[in-house]
Structure 1
Amino acid sequence: MLNRVILIGRLTKDPELRYTNSGTAVASLTLAVDRARPNQNGERETDFIRIVVWSKLAELCGQYLHKGRLASVDGRLQIRSYENREGQKVSVSEVVAEAVKFLDRGHTQTGDGSGNRNAQSPNANHSGTAGHRPTLDDDPFADDIPQYNDDPFAS
């Protein structure tokens, strides 16, 4: 049997990073993924897919992924259900990420409130020559991110 999902899309908002009671990091995010073919009206439709990321990878996503960033997710489809406050059974479909790749270079918001973005990474290496200004070459995640498989709920 095989349960594998591979997605490429843009984040609809910043990831929500939380921690379980045992201290394990978990991040929730939503990817907007365009469909490959237009509908009957010739328009491209977009699917909004919930993603769950665990452990160190969740912390990295929470730190470096932001609304609008392009990312790929490789994982498995999980369908779970629960009873809401009104006593109704709710079913949730989501992808549990086993690997996440940042496909574009991240930018940080400037402090002027204009929404303009610059090329500085918030955690770029500032060591070296005095007055060194970080560049895109300083991005610690320019290459693939290490892959983790630490889902404590995996069977």
Structure 2
Amino acid sequence: MSLNAVTLVGRVGGDPDVKYFESGSVKCSLTLAVNRKTRNSDQPDWFNLELWGKTAEVAANYVRKGSLIGVTGALKFDTWKDRSTGDDRSKPIIRVERLDLLGSKRDNEAGASSGGYDDEF
């Protein structure tokens, strides 16, 4: 048996980076800050998110820097060769399968709206 599941709730670190491909596919990249409790303060952990298809379009249209979102997905690693050194490099990425819009900082006083969007494979 194997399991690769990640669930996170946090605030978006910047506006979405959206790419449209000739094939019709849509890819959206985001960063997500998730607070980790420590003895003296909250320290954010930063995660790179990758969304595809309809979920990417929803993120492009409704998610902005500071938005509170929930995501469910799988951990993957992007790998490449460094052009200057030739070294193998890698970066962990969360491949988002479900996106929940939980609100923005402004929504906290007025009550947050929510909606879930599942990725289509």
Report the TM-score, using the length of structure 1 for normalisation.
0.68
- Structure 2 unaligned spans of 5+: none
Q: 1:104 & 1:72 partners in 2: Cα distance?
A: 10
1:69 offset after TM fit, Å?
Answer: 0.4
Deviation readout 1:66-94 (Å, 9 max, x if unpaired):
00000001000001211122122111101
Which letter does structure 1 place at the counterpart of 2:38?
P
Cα distance between partner residues in 2 of 1:91 and 1:54:
20
- Cα distance change on mapping 1:106 and 1:43 into 2, 3 Å: closer
Larger of the two Rg values belongs to structure: 1
Aligned to 2:56: 58
| C-alpha deviation, 1:15, in angstroms | 0.6
Counting aligned pairs with the same residue, the percent is 31
1:133 corresponds in structure 2 to none
Q: 8 Å contact 1:64–1:106 — kept in the other structure?
A: no
Amino acid at match of 1:12: G
Indicate whether 1:70 and 2:68 are aligned. yes
Report the Cα offset of residue 143 of structure 1: 4.0
**Letter matched to residue 68 of structure 1:** G
Identify the structure with bigger relative contact order (alpha carbons < 8 Å, sequence gap 6+).
Answer: 2
Whether the 8 Å CA contact 1:16–1:27 is kept in 2: the answer is yes
What residue number does 1:147 align with? 118
Aligned to 2:34: 33
Kindly provide the amino acid, as one letter, of the partner of residue 118 in structure 2: Q
CA distance in 2, matches of 1:20, 1:93: 23
**Cα RMSD for the two superposed structures:** 2.1
Per residue, is there more strand in 1 or in 2?
A: 2
TM-score by length of 2: 0.85
Judge conservation of contact 1:10–1:69 (CA < 8 Å) in 2.
yes
C-alpha deviation, 1:105, in angstroms? 5.5
Paired residues in the alignment total: 115
Unaligned stretches of 5+ in structure 1? 108-135, 137-141, 151-155
